[in-house]
Amino acid sequence: MQTTVKSSCKLDKKKTNTGGNDSILHLPVLVEEILGFLDPKEGQIFVDGTLGLGGHAKAILNHINKIALLIGVDVDPKSLEIATKNLKDFGDRVRLIRSSYVDIPEVLVSEEIEKVDAILLDLGLSSFQLEHSGRGFSFTRDEPLDMRMDPSISVTASDMVNKLPFEQLAQLIRTYGEERWAKKIAKTIVKKRRKSPIVSSKQLADIVALAIPRKYHPRRIHPATKTFQALRIAVNRELDQIKEALLRLPDCLKQGGKIAIISFHSLEDRLVKHAFKHDPRLKVLTKKPITATDDEISHNPRSRSAKLRVAQRTDYEPENINN
């Protein structure tokens, strides 16, 4: 099973009236914009390829109560467990499947569905995974340095930090994190791991903060942000996943069907922009990426970096899209 990445959403907790369990509330990004572009109609079939806790799926299902079916896909079993509870009121209008968004073509075959009306991907890291997964995604928490979206992946962030040679580690941080201090960070990591393995997120965050000269610490983000991003992308093969999905998913759409992708950093957005522009199967509907309004950002600060691009399936059928 391949892995996927998930959206940035705002989370909160409150006590339920059943045994004091925590109920996770979430605020998905760019909901109104997505509904406007995808324009759900009666009898249509939608796929949310990065289901997470079901925030976007719930908004779509509430928007029009006669949408025929929404298929929710995610590789994170804990997220699917929570989404199942969040979407239980929609009954058989929802089918939730543990898989990667890259494998949506196979999912549709297994569900005996030929084509769908819309596909939504919300890329990146969810607030649930950041704050509640215990997998070391956050540099503000002292958790095992794991960073796997899909627990079945064999390589963790700790494996990479402790085993990659200096040059490979520096290149990873520079390429996926776009970090100017990549070599210095990698050098400091190698020095520290010689004394003892780096096994927690807090350990790594402290090492990165130490490696970057204090006067060059960024003002708005933690100095370890880009390094953590780089490791997460590498562990989950996020960019490879996006590239493969961009090749495969347009063929899952009906003529006139739409694909909407939300990205959260420049590496993702460039891949989506290029693929949409140069794919003869698609017509670009967003000349520039759609971003959150000031009002949304004030309610959900993580929406600040979200960029939405949308394209529509045309009637062009290339013999080989790879050529």
In the chain, DSSP finds a helix count (H) and a strand count (E) of 13, 9
Q: Is the pTM of this model over 0.75?
A: yes
3-state secondary structure 1-45: CCCCCCCCCEEEEEECCCCCCEEEEEECCCHHHHHHHHCCCCCCE
Q: Reduced to 3 states, what is the DSSP secondary structure of residue 122?
A: strand
**C-alpha to C-alpha distance for 188 and 161, rounded to whole angstroms:** 11
Whether 148 and 70 have beta carbons less than 8 Å apart is answered as no
CATH superfamily of 10-15+22-128+239-313: Vaccinia Virus protein VP39 (3.40.50.150)
Give me the pLDDT at residue 15, please.
34
Class of domain 135-237: mainly alpha
DSSP 214: G
Task: Please give the share of the chain, as a percent, with pLDDT higher than 70.
Answer: 89
Nearest to 63, CA basis, from 84, 46, 41, 82: 41
Q: Reduced to 3 states, what is the DSSP secondary structure of residue 261?
A: strand
Give me the pLDDT at residue 220, please.
83
Structure tokens at 202: 């807090």
b/e burial code for range 121-153 (CB count within 10 A of at least 16 → b): bbbbbbbbbbebbebbbbbebebebbbbbbeeb
pLDDT along the chain (323 residues), means of 10: 33 34 66 96 96 94 88 94 95 96 98 98 80 85 93 95 98 97 98 97 97 93 95 96 98 98 96 98 97 95 93 76 53
Give me the pLDDT at residue 130, please.
75
Per domain, the residue ranges of the chain are 10-15+22-128+239-313, 135-237
Q: Over the stretch 14-23, which tens digit does the pLDDT of each residue have?
A: 333 333 334 4
Complete edge-to-edge strand list for the sheet that includes strand 116-122: 94-98, 69-74, 45-48, 116-122, 253-263, 307-313, 282-284
**C-alpha to C-alpha distance for 120 and 107, rounded to whole angstroms:** 15
Give me the pLDDT at residue 16, please.
31
Whether 287 and 318 have beta carbons less than 8 Å apart is answered as no
Nearest to 68, CA basis, from 41, 86, 89: 41
Nearest to 205, CA basis, from 125, 131, 143, 126: 143
